[in-house]
Amino acid sequence: MEITLALLAGLLVAAGAYLMMSGKLLPYLFGLTMISNAANLIIFASGRLTYARPPLVPEGGYTVTGAANALPQALILTAIVIGFGLLVFALALTYRSFRVFKTIEMDAMRASEPVPGAEAGRR
């Protein structure tokens, strides 16, 4: 199971990195989402993967044995929620900058650091 998750995380990072290097803003964000899901998988695997064993302490017991650690799952939930917020903001920002700059090519967006002599700082 760990092997499957590791391969999946690797695949997500590879695909995500490919998209992020496209030089366009929207694919960049999609790639970033894939990579952040790979990070979630890393945390998931770090809490051990078990099948159908709820992490409940039996009556009179002190610790659970043979069950997955529930804490990383809580961490992933937190990370997913935060990731949602960031992604929504980033998408809104992308849409807004597309409306303003009429492009999602990152190389063409030079309004904050105009190239000296070039016409990039036109208004």
| Window 11 to 70, contacts with another protein (CB under 8 A) | 25, 28, 32, 35-36, 38-40, 42-43, 45-47, 69
Beta strands in 27-115 (DSSP E): none
- d(Cα 95, Cα 43) in Å, to the nearest integer? 31
* Identity of the residue, 17 or 56, whose beta carbon is nearer to another protein in the bound complex: 17
Minimum CB separation of residue 35 from another protein in Å reads: 5
Identify the residue among 4, 10, 89, 103 touching another protein (CB under 8 A). Answer: 89
CA 53 to chain centre: 28
- Residue 105's SS3 state is strand
Give the burial class of 24: count Cβ atoms within 10 A of its Cβ; 0-12 exposed, 13-18 middle, 19 or more buried. middle
Give contact residues for another protein (rule: CB under 8 A). 25, 28, 32, 35-36, 38-40, 42-43, 45-47, 69, 71-72, 75, 78-79, 82, 85-86, 89-90, 93-94, 96-97, 100-101, 106, 109-113, 116, 123
